[in-house]
Amino acid sequence: MSERLEDIAAAIVADGKGLLAADESSGTIKKRFDVIGVESTADSRRDYREMMFRAREAMTRYISGVILYDETIRQKAADGTPLVDIIKAAGAIPGIKVDAGAKSLAGFPGDTVTEGLDGLRERLADYYKLGARFAKWRAVIDIDTGKGVPSANSISSNAHALARYAALCQEAGIVPIVEPEVLMDGAHDIDTCYAISKATLIKLYDELHAARVVLEGTILKPNMVLAGRKSGKVSSPEEVAEMTIKLFRETVPAAVPGIAFLSGGQEDEEATANLNAINAIGPHPWKLTFSYGRALQAAPQKAWSGKASNVAAGQAAFTHRAHMNHLAALGKWKASLEQAA
């Protein structure tokens, strides 16, 4: 395909397609494997991801790209084929997580800043040679209003780091996915999520402009606007859609080709229902799709459970979830389709 950043970005948000976030760190995937009773080894992690990457229907029809971890982008399948080549053969685009994780922000208890800029230019050149054509960097914005979290410095520091990362990606011929995640874990209401998300996105686009990042060659990966999990309130899909689109229309330039939502800990069907409601009230100036990790993988992980005899069942579960989110990205999902599966 074209190597132009704008064309790669457009392909990532092609109609009805979205991203599989398979970039869990070794520590994170161990926790998920512990739940299904599977030992986390280099081979078991490879086998699990290979199972999804070889799910032909899902990968060719519903998945535009895969976000990989450093280990995975270098791995080969059991038959010796590089996993990157399996992804490309399905018509999907390989991508790579490049940040080094969120660390405590000095002087601001409760706030974090994402690290990983040191040596990033050289790592991006290496990842490009390995086949990556897009990258991801996650900033973490927690909400605890009683403790003054997030601080203005946290938002500013993370936005600046995202802009520096994005500029380095574009220099390397790689599309940057910018991910400013406002966490849904707190006790805050939906209006607070909206306000913090708005402040974050305004600062982010100020910094991207200052860094001379070409917005047409970027993808935004944000949270939806939701009440915090500890608030005791459940936001309806219609409320999530109304507040999220209001937020984007006030903050996200129309030059951005697409927005690929993170699931942020939402349940499988919850993430699908909310994405569908957002697309159902369109049209919008950007493509609105998914970049889901757990919301695409929880079902196939359970179905697979580390057994070669369960590969087909795992692939079927993955294909179903990918299909449901494909429909949601088009605003055509219905809850009855879940029961029919």
**Known catalytic residues?**
179, 221
198: tokens are 């708005």
Strand blocks (E) in the chain: 18-21, 63-68, 93-97, 102-104, 112-114, 134-141, 175-182, 219-220, 258-261, 287-292
- Report DSSP state, residue 130: H
- Spatial distance between the Cα atoms of 333 and 32, rounded to a whole number of angstroms: 28
Of the candidates 89, 64, 90, 24, which has an alpha carbon nearest to the alpha carbon of residue 289?
Answer: 64
Handedness of CA 23, 28, 34, 35 (dihedral sign): negative
- Report DSSP state, residue 165: H
Name the burial class of residue 85, with classes exposed (0-12), middle (13-18) and buried (19+) by CB atoms within 10 angstroms of its CB: middle
Of the candidates 259, 275, 139, 143, which has an alpha carbon nearest to the alpha carbon of residue 203?
Answer: 139
- Spatial distance between the Cα atoms of 321 and 324, rounded to a whole number of angstroms: 5
206: tokens are 């100020």
The radius of gyration computed from the CA coordinates of the chain, to the nearest angstrom, equals 19
161: tokens are 């780091």
DSSP 278-337: HHHT---SSEEEEEESHHHHHHHHHHHTT-GGGHHHHHHHHHHHHHHHHHHHTT---HHH
Q: Is the peptide bond before 283 cis (omega within 30 degrees of 0)?
A: yes
CB-CB neighbours of 122 under 10 Å: 10
